[in-house]
Structure 1
């Protein structure tokens, strides 16, 4: 790959720039330098992408293709992604600064979604209804919604796109993808593989640009049937409001302030690793970050000390280096936001146990790095414990017993994920039942699968991604009635 690369959108199967000829720079968070450009699209480009997807859904070969044929295309795309996983991962690392080890692991795993939903494509079934009216026969069909707009974030662009793309295509929909303006490159690189796989023109389209400029044109377009969004809760609420104007379907996977709960009877060493994984993996830039570490008071000092010692040894550096454990944050505005929250935490009385700023290493000064930071003496009413920071900041909060842990864990507007560390099987089930979150991990953290549904409670979103539940989000049910009687009954009376 050259030092400066230009990626193009794909609309109706054709590569294209923006209609204005403008470009957006993509900056490598490790070097702080521009390495690529993507089209800076406007409303006209967004409309063209939607119209292409609509034509493909209504008139194109996609609309008459068998479900088995769709499944074969999905599996073929999965094979191509597996072949080019390292190349795609390198693009993502240059684009968002996350560890190549993390991105390559994600890209190698992504094909499983295409295999899974490719297999589900021809197993979408309706059914014959038992009927209380003997002269009427009734059955149901499951049908695609139409054009789906998939809006993806900057932290794991291809993985979170795949969670939308695979089930939507398996269900028979067409797609317009709007990636984050900060990390569009890997999505546009994926379109090369979409073309190679043989998808018909217009089935998958991309449009790049700023959300505030083209977002409403996409989410409120009359030809769009559904919006699938991953991102912050404020943006999610705005999308929800816009979609409501057209009564569109939505899937919203939003933010989190996830409790990671350690009981005194837990395996302490495993729990400490789980705490580190929950917040410092991916530099804390994940919606499932275990940013609130709830620790039973009897082991609070021990756990705090071990977590601090473990995090202190974390190696910051080039995300392409296999020895690096913590890379830069993805955007400069995000780094500023994280540093601002550190100041807020100090003002509110939290005690900084580790980090609290930017690293002083000259080798890192060009990058957008933030030190792994841990605050103790945190109460759950502090902003640092209530608002999503989306960075490597851990708040350690003490609790007394199960009731107290549940009270703190559920005292949040969010409900995306949670962790419980205990050797007591009764407690594991009890906590899993009572935590108000879409995912509960017990004695592990940050585990995902193409087989397992993912989504949130409360302000963490609407709907589920992955697993069999996900395909239901992209289907609608039609009921068909057939009259078996020879005559027509009284037309003035409800049958």
Structure 2
């Protein structure tokens, strides 16, 4: 998988047709530890369209033989890969922390989730894929089965470098597709280690391929490629829509999971300690770099002041630092660009009249000076028309908004172009049911944080958060296969 370039820095190759191969460009880029810019985690390939074409050709040639294998045989490979990943969990988690910044406990938890995803989809190879349907002809048999799309392009973000590649690639593979994976550059090294687990598990040459490089070359190249039959993407709205339009223009299937501006409603009857703890966890863990992270905190006026004080007390306890250090609760922004984005939104909030109650500055004390650290920010007196209340920040910024009724809270929560996740804190069953029925979000959670979904459950958003398909669980079969109706006379 790797070759030594320097004593402590490795270069990670592309994975094409069952082999680790360097890009034809002979160009690489450094993956930098956002907690310590002096630390180079590894080097990844800056690939060309020619590299991508080789990967797609390999996937196309391998697909027929792969789809002919039984589901249980394909599942055996995924199950073996899960065991290999389990043996390597510490190394993969440490690499994730070094490469994109989330704390080691979070990284280890995500890696464990990746292992569980592989095992879940390994089992899919033995589950039903069709139905027998009564025919009007008494001498006929009619039933449905599933057929794979073919070659699937998987384009993944940096914030979940294990879970997202696997919750896309594993179902694609188990249902008989072959995959060309383009990971985010910020987490290319971590992704290479995941692919190596599948390589060691014996996945046939060409069935899984990984090509690293710029999104404009490799990501767009996948969307444009005539031999790529489906695109599954998680990332920004701007990029997602561009990829979707390219896929649509040539008749390829596409699946887009994009942004969120996720609200939490704190009703006047809420358990305020629970609500404050969950708001901090949902909004600030992983440095707020989750598409399901809590951003808008909508609180009833009757409990607003008390909740605000509880929230601020919990935020003040947060230790910001290197995710590999004991006691660190929140790591750095994943890159210098992401840090600048967060700081710019903090300035916009202040300029538009919001009151900054806590944090919002770059953290540069001690060893933090070498990284892209930012203090968690809490804004008060936020109105619905402010930029920080409308645009996805993807950073540790909470915006407090006061309402006088539960109905007003619901209306404000729905006042967004996004509809990914939302949560409510209430002890009133009627309010909980109203929230479930009226909240325009693909994931609604009661008395728990907005972030997180279990791997066996469908995941996806409404409005501008999604292309309206669903990932994970049994729902994944709907994207990665097509229904074939069979009539036997």
Give the TM-score normalised by structure 1.
Answer: 0.95
Q: CA RMSD in A?
A: 1.4
CA distance in 2, matches of 1:330, 1:125: 40
From 431, 434, 446, the counterpart of 1:430: 434
Instruction: Tell me the equivalent position of 1:76.
Output: 80
Q: Residues of 1 paired with 2:96 and 2:41: CA distance? A: 12
Match of 2:456 in 1: 451
Question: Which runs of structure 2 are paired with 1:86-485 in the superposition (5 Å)?
Answer: 86-134=90-138, 137-445=141-449, 446-462=451-467, 463-482=469-488, 484=489
Matches of 1:308 and 1:78 in 2, distance apart?
41
How far 1:314 moved relative to its partner?
A: 0.6
1:23 aligns to 2:28 (yes or no): yes
Distance 1:333 1:447 in 2: 25
Displacement of 1:232 in angstroms is: 0.8
Report how far residue 276 of structure 1 moved: 0.2
Q: Which one is further off, 441-450 or 239-248?
A: 441-450
| 1:50 matched to 2:62 | no
User: How far apart are the structure 1 equivalents of 2:8 and 2:334?
Assistant: 19
Following superposition, the deviation at residue 22 of structure 1 comes to: 0.4
Contact 1:7/1:189, CA 8 A, preserved across alignment? no
Q: Could you tell me the TM-score, scaled by structure 2's length?
A: 0.96
**SS of equivalent residue, structure 2 residue 485:** strand
Alpha-carbon contact 2:70-2:125 (below 8 Å) kept: no
Distance 1:328 1:125 in 2: 44
Q: Distance in 1 between matches of 2:319 and 2:151?
A: 44
Q: Of 4, 8, 18, which residue of structure 1 is paired with 2:13?
A: 8
Q: CA offset at residue 111 of structure 1?
A: 1.4
**Do the aligned partners of 1:9 and 1:207 also contact (CA within 8 Å) in 2?**
yes
Q: For 2:398, what is the secondary structure of its paired residue?
A: strand
Tell whether the 8 Å contact from 1:218 to 1:224 is kept in structure 2 after alignment.
Answer: yes
- Per the TM alignment, residue 35 of structure 1 is displaced from its structure 2 partner at its CA by 2.9
Separation (CA, whole Å) in 2 of partners of 1:215 and 1:126: 33
Q: Distance in 2 between matches of 1:429 and 1:464?
A: 23
**SS of equivalent residue, structure 1 residue 370:** coil
Q: How far apart, CA to CA, are the structure 2 residues paired with 1:138 and 1:192?
A: 42
SS at match of 1:365: helix
Deviation at 1:451, TM superposition (A): 1.2
Other structure's SS at 1:318 match: coil
Identify the range of structure 1 (117-126 vs 204-213) with the bigger mean alpha-carbon deviation. 117-126
Deviation at 1:131, TM superposition (A): 1.9
What secondary structure is seen at the aligned counterpart in 2 of 1:124? coil
Q: Which 5+ residue runs of structure 2 have no aligned equivalent?
A: none
| Distance of 2:9 and 2:161 partners within structure 1 | 21
Cα contact 1:101–1:322 (8 A) shared by 2: no
Shift of 1:134: 4.7
Contact 1:85/1:107 (8 A) holds in 2: yes
Instruction: Note the residue ranges of structure 1 that are not aligned, 5 or more in a row.
Output: 485-495
Corresponding residue number in structure 2 for 1:490: none
Which SS does the other structure have where 2:84 is aligned? Answer: helix
1:201-257 residue CA offsets vs partner (Å, 9 max, x unmatched): 111100000001222211111111111111111111111111111221112111100
In 2, the alpha carbon distance for the partners of 1:373 and 1:390 equals 12
Q: Tell me the SS of whatever aligns to 1:10.
A: strand
Q: Give the Cα separation in 2 of the matches to 1:202 and 1:88.
A: 24
What do the CA deviations read for 1:151-205 (whole angstroms, capped 9, x no partner)?
A: 0101111111111012111111111100001110011112221111111111110
Contact 1:170 1:471 in 2 (8 A): no
Matched pairs, number:
481
C-alpha displacement of 1:375: 0.5
- Helix, strand or coil at the partner of 1:295: strand
2-side partners of 1:150 and 1:320: how far apart?
A: 29
